[in-house]
Structure 1
Amino acid sequence: MIPEDNRFESDPTDVLPEDPGLPDGWVAETPDGHDRATVERLTELLRDHERAGRGWAGSGEEDVLVEVSERGAAMRENLVVRDPAGRIQAWGSVHDRAEGRMLFVHVVDRELDEPLADRCSDVLFEWAEAQARSVGAARGRSVQQIDTGSFADDERQHRWLADAGFEKVRTWWQMSRSVEAEEAELVPDPERWERKGVVFRLVERQGDGMPDEADLRSIHDVLEGAFTDHFNSAEETFHEFIHRLREDPGHRWDHWWLAEIVREEGDHVVEPAGALVGTVSESATGPAGSYVSYLGVLESARGRGVATGLLRTIIADAAARGRDRVGLEVDADSPTGADGLYTAMGWGTKYVTESWHRDVPVS
């Protein structure tokens, strides 16, 4: 299920000026995702970036490998800036997320002097803009969006984004809920249970352990339908969707649930109504947690307790696995009031992030 070929320019010299304005001896180049020292340094940069922005680090080498290893090469490109000693001082990554939407990771060493940090930042933005034009042209777009993020308290990142022409467009609450061992009894069986004509079940597995493709397509269809009118929704093909989610370090097939409405009038009919894609969030200091990557309910099925049932399912599953928490992200500006459901079920905001966008004319 590999998507189409990479639509980015892989050679930085093709998209950056001959002189990008770096000091003598500094270079901008593509990192070697096979090099252990490179992966370790990028992990260090990312963790320092997280500590500065929210007070603690959560990422590890697996999160970096998603960006720089061969498994991410179909949809991503990377750039690093090295000082004369060869030490990486800045890192940018672009991800062809869906038609019209390019994600951008922008990380600069926190110990650099301000003028040097500013110049490294400028190089990353110049490169990302050129990559946006490249991927936009390959997709036949006249305008390509760059979508990047920031922690709400990261003033340095805010300044750079605003100076580069980005606009803050959304705020996100990163929420967490503690899990108690007795909550394993919240539902009869996380693998399959039923309530008021709605069946909640894991995706079915084939003899080789792989999930049933029909179930995966049902989940994709539900999520595409549920998020059609949501902020910055962009159509994503089934193959792009599966490829991207399988890249997640916390991906597990036994964390994908479907909710189906069983209609008994006349012929026995089962209709997909909701879907939850969960992942594992590892911790270096304690038990792993579960994370709700996606939760969607079709409009035709709302009001039947589908979202509540799916959330109770992942809580019960986490408790049965000995986990201590379930996390999720909610749009702070959403008109649907989803945060009310999460708060009522015990979730609280742990930290806040922001989305910043810039539209780049492709021509």
Structure 2
Amino acid sequence: MIPDESRFESDPLVALGPRPPLPEGWTVGSPDPHDPEDLARLTALLRAHEKHGRGWAGASVDDVLVEVSEEGLRMRENVVVRDSAGVIHAWGSSHDRAGGRMLFVHVVERGLPDDDAQACSDVLVDWAVAQAEAVGAARGLEVQQIDTGAFADDDRQHRWLETAGFERVRHWWQMKRPVAPDEAGLVPSPDGWEDRGVRFRLVRRGPDGMPDHDDLREVHEVLEEAFRDHFNSWEETFDEFLHRLREDPGHRWDHWWVAELVDDPEHPRPVGALVGTETGSEDGPSGSYVAYLGVLEAARGRGVGKGLLRTVIADAAVRGRDRVGIEVDADSPTGAHELYLAMGWETSYVTESWHREVPVPKG
């Protein structure tokens, strides 16, 4: 259930308490989602952060709006640090992702003097801890996890996070696979096909063009069960799941697939799901991205995962796209990455998960 009111403390100064130790004239506040200058500045900071960490920038103003727009603020809160002229030099965003897990975006301008950059980082972390306490208290938790990320080559970010009490807990391969036009024939039709008692199909659509509600619930249930024992898996309600995925600028209902066993045609059983998105490009065709791929344990060995991947590749080829991306748990003991390697995926860059467990004050 999405709360009617945010679980966060909306006033950064209330969250932070006494005035943070910043350079003379610098202030802490909230970004204005209606101010083009604020949006442009946040986008520039995020793109510079990406370029430093992985060699290229992909963020757009739409990605920023996911964090700062009124709709986004139902499950998020933001803080910025401005200089005496009102220019934003640091940005933090917290996302009430699921019970027990709060995501934290931590961006500080590249090129700031070390002392000023460190002061900005300290403010962002202190604010995130205060928000974790607020969210954890609203959810009735004893401990609230802060989950933040870093690029594997970003030594500055690593140093700050470690000093602030975060622990590096996971590595992720960000993988990409090229798509050729003739791969449209990898499957009979990306809209629907069958093989060895497994049917792969798009989520059904109603007369109004909206997806079938029961199909969406099946996707959610399959993914929840498939990832139940995976690293840092937290239960997410159906409403939270839909709300979050629909916020993605690349969200498309015709990128959601279900795999079901049809050994008994009268009672098909959902056993796999793939949620894809569209990714943009500044200088070429767009791509597809596998946001979620889950297969129930009872169906493993039936070619469900491979069939879903072949489907999204074929769909990308039909749409004239030139790549499909996916994130892979580099530390997983399952060896699932071997399937991706065998099907042509290669690692583009590596990211990391860093966690800090925040005790929630009682009362």
Match of 2:50 in 1: 50
Question: Cα deviations across residues 19-42 of structure 1 (Å, max 9, x unaligned)?
Answer: 211122100001111111100000
Determine helix, strand or coil for the equivalent of 1:225.
helix
Question: Cα deviations across residues 251-295 of structure 1 (Å, max 9, x unaligned)?
Answer: 00000000000123xx72100010000000000111000000000
- Residue 325 (structure 1) aligned to one of 323, 328, 333: 323
Q: CA contact under 8 A between 1:3 and 1:243: conserved in structure 2?
A: no
Which 4+ residue blocks in structure 1 deviate beyond 6 angstroms? none
Q: For the residues of structure 1 that align with 2:153 and 2:232, how far apart are their CA atoms?
A: 23
Matched, 1:19 2:19: yes
Deviation at 1:205, TM superposition (A): 0.4
Q: For the residues of structure 2 that align with 1:6 and 1:309, how far apart are their CA atoms?
A: 40
Match of 1:289 in 2: 287
Taking the TM superposition and a 5 Å limit, the aligned residue runs for 1:231-310 are: 231-264=231-264, 268-310=266-308
Deviation at 1:13, TM superposition (A): 1.7
Deviation at 1:70, TM superposition (A): 1.2
Determine helix, strand or coil for the equivalent of 2:351.
strand
Taking the TM superposition and a 5 Å limit, the aligned residue runs for 1:106-185 are: 106-185=106-185
Determine helix, strand or coil for the equivalent of 1:194.
strand
Determine helix, strand or coil for the equivalent of 1:240.
helix
| Aligned residues: CA RMSD | 0.9
Q: For the residues of structure 2 that align with 1:156 and 1:299, how far apart are their CA atoms?
A: 40
Q: CA contact under 8 A between 1:206 and 1:212: conserved in structure 2?
A: yes
Amino acid at match of 1:135: V
Deviation at 1:299, TM superposition (A): 0.5
Deviation at 1:3, TM superposition (A): 4.5
Q: For the residues of structure 1 that align with 2:95 and 2:33, how far apart are their CA atoms?
A: 15
Q: For the residues of structure 1 that align with 2:279 and 2:179, how far apart are their CA atoms?
A: 14
Q: For the residues of structure 1 that align with 2:38 and 2:207, how far apart are their CA atoms?
A: 39
Q: For the residues of structure 2 that align with 1:32 and 1:356, how far apart are their CA atoms?
A: 28
Deviation at 1:98, TM superposition (A): 0.2
Amino acid at match of 1:31: P
Determine helix, strand or coil for the equivalent of 2:71.
helix
Question: Cα deviations across residues 163-208 of structure 1 (Å, max 9, x unaligned)?
Answer: 0000000000000000000000000000010001100000000111
Gaps of 5+ in 2: none
Q: For the residues of structure 2 that align with 1:54 and 1:204, how far apart are their CA atoms?
A: 38
Q: For the residues of structure 2 that align with 1:357 and 1:34, how far apart are their CA atoms?
A: 32
Deviation at 1:17, TM superposition (A): 2.4
Match of 1:228 in 2: 228
Q: For the residues of structure 1 that align with 2:126 and 2:232, how far apart are their CA atoms?
A: 23
TM-score by length of 1: 0.98
Q: For the residues of structure 2 that align with 1:143 and 1:339, how far apart are their CA atoms?
A: 32
Amino acid at match of 2:308: L
Amino acid at match of 1:351: Y
Q: For the residues of structure 2 that align with 1:192 and 1:52, how far apart are their CA atoms?
A: 41
Determine helix, strand or coil for the equivalent of 1:84.
coil
Match of 1:76 in 2: 76
Deviation at 1:349, TM superposition (A): 0.2
Gaps of 5+ in 1: none
Determine helix, strand or coil for the equivalent of 1:70.
coil
Determine helix, strand or coil for the equivalent of 2:209.
coil
Taking the TM superposition and a 5 Å limit, the aligned residue runs for 1:308-319 are: 308-319=306-317
Deviation at 1:4, TM superposition (A): 4.4
Amino acid at match of 2:340: Y
Amino acid at match of 1:184: A
Q: For the residues of structure 2 that align with 1:307 and 1:203, how far apart are their CA atoms?
A: 17
Determine helix, strand or coil for the equivalent of 1:244.
helix
Q: For the residues of structure 2 that align with 1:259 and 1:3, how far apart are their CA atoms?
A: 32
Q: CA contact under 8 A between 1:3 and 1:240: conserved in structure 2?
A: no
Q: CA contact under 8 A between 1:26 and 1:83: conserved in structure 2?
A: yes
Amino acid at match of 2:315: D
Determine helix, strand or coil for the equivalent of 2:183.
helix
TM-score by length of 2: 0.98
Identity over aligned pairs, percent: 68
Amino acid at match of 2:347: T
